[in-house]
Structure 1
């Protein structure tokens, strides 16, 4: 029997990057992966990929995580189809870089809304079903920037720190309902989100793209290596498989030693 046989796992931002790898891994271990993404066509393509690879069930949901009604409807659709939600991986996110001194307020609000409002709204929508079932596993995709800071990333660092606080509150409130909450904190993973940042940071810092990778992104790692989507999925599935409250309110850094606790 696979670890997640019959479990319904909603993963936001799951049509690409880290979220997609997490969804694929859940499906490979027996879960019903719900691909929640702004891009419904890409989400449906991921569903077809899962069905072709594993022969299991998967479901695509169009979801703007900053839209309360869209989140509530998306989760309701999942529950109408499967009767429950066992696991939520709140992963949807973006990156915008500017110096603090001239960071546009609209960009600040946009980034915080996707990372923090999105985590709050998706969690709240799932909780009523998790509480009713007396079971739930909530995992937030944080970052090394949940622990550290970097130049040019004021809202991102603030949001990723905020997810740790959110998880701690949920860990305390959810315990009596057998709901755990944890944060996985990756280092730099070579996804489209990060690939986009390399030229942006090179321009902002006045250095080459190679130097951005070597002296900014991977400088503090022990081996100069990017974290992989597989590394992150390993940590997410570890928390999702926990059988007790022993692992709750925690944050696990997956970063080739960039940040050590």
Structure 2
């Protein structure tokens, strides 16, 4: 059987995708021919214009559907409104940093809800569609922190470890179906949000841009290079290809060697 990477006729739903990693993945999947559904908690003209731009650039159908991923009914409604979900990318996430004894309960609840529980709801809604279609890909965006830990990020690390475990369970439950489930574990990704942090870090540490990137932001990333959103998109597109049909229930690290330490 010929190996193909074309995603023509497939629909990808990407949560948290009006910027950063999610948008990078959406663009790469559209480039491969998939119709895409963008998502975030906002519902602005810019959100819908972004979908229209992707549709025009790649000759696919692209839509934007608002959903608050902290709410289970919104998560399931997103999949239902999409109407078709051959590829599910669970990417939505937030972060908060504080010692455990000072960690606000509302922040813990929100991070667990958006970073972990939302994926349970979207997967539960999408699997029947995938089984009916006879094909499916579940890709959960975890983190190097889904495999390792750091201080002051208890909720984020708990959620990302949970995403890895959820991924393995989905893979086992779909092992006899033409459906795969995998987690991508990036290190530090150069997103617009991260880019905006660099000047503040330069001021705080009295360092140059290059020093901040190498010694502060990428202190645990041996390559000393950011992962890019395009690399994240390319990894997701590979996992959707026929070449990855027997890759399931695992993690793929895109972290410049972080988890090799």
TM-score (norm 2): 0.89
**Aligned with 1:182: secondary structure?**
strand
Moved more, 173-182 or 40-49: 40-49
The answer to whether 1:85 aligns with 2:85 is yes
Q: Hey, what does 1:29 align to over in structure 2? A: 32
The residue that corresponds to 2:11 in the other structure is: 8
Deviations 1:36-71 (A, max 9, x none): 221222431221111231232111111112222222
1:198 to 1:106, Cα distance in 2 relative to 1, 3 A: farther
TM-superposed deviation, 1:26: 0.8
Distance in 1 (CA, whole Å) between partners of 2:164 and 2:128 is 21
Judge conservation of contact 1:93–1:114 (CA < 8 Å) in 2.
yes
Distance 1:224 1:43 in 2: 33
The aligned residue for residue 46 of structure 1 is 50
SS in 2 for 1:249: coil
Q: Cα offset for 1:236?
A: 1.1
Secondary structure of 1:127's partner? helix
Using CA pairs below 8 Å that are at least 6 residues apart, which structure has the higher relative contact order?
Answer: 2
Match of 2:140 in 1: 140
Check 1:115–1:232 CA distance in 2 against 1; reply closer, same or farther (3 A cut): same
User: What is the alpha-carbon distance in structure 2 between the residues aligned to residue 49 and residue 188 of structure 1?
Assistant: 27
SS of the equivalent of 1:60 reads strand
| 1:170-181 aligned within 5 A | 170-181=170-181
For the residue of structure 2 that corresponds to 1:259, the secondary structure is: helix
Offset of residue 167 of structure 1: 0.4
Q: Check the 8 A contact 2:14/2:37 in 1, yes or no.
A: yes
Q: From the superposition, tell whether residues 107 and 201 of structure 1 become closer, same or farther in structure 2 (CA, over 3 Å).
A: farther
Q: CA deviation at 1:201?
A: 8.0
- 1 CA distance for matches of 2:231 and 2:38? 20
**Is the contact made by 2:71 and 2:113 (CA closer than 8 Å) also made in structure 1?**
no
Helix, strand or coil for the counterpart of 2:13? Answer: strand
Q: TM-score by structure 1 length?
A: 0.89
| Separation of aligned partners in 2, 1:196 and 1:111 | 22
**C-alpha distance 29-227 of structure 1, shift in aligned 2 (>3 A):** same
Which stretch of the first structure deviates more once superposed, 31-40 or 214-223? 214-223
| Pairwise CA RMSD | 2.3
**3-state SS of the aligned residue for 1:18?**
helix
Gaps of 5+ in 1: none
| Residue of structure 1 in register with 2:67 after alignment | 63
Count how many residue pairs are aligned between Structure 1 and Structure 2.
Answer: 255
Match runs of 1:197-216 below 5 Å: 207=205, 213-216=213-216
Work out the CA distance in 1 between the residues paired with 2:149 and 2:202: 18
The DSSP-based 3-state class of the residue aligned with 2:183 is strand
Preserved contact between residue 94 and residue 193 of structure 1 (Cα < 8 Å): no
Give the conservation status (yes or no) of the 8 Å contact 1:190–1:227.
yes
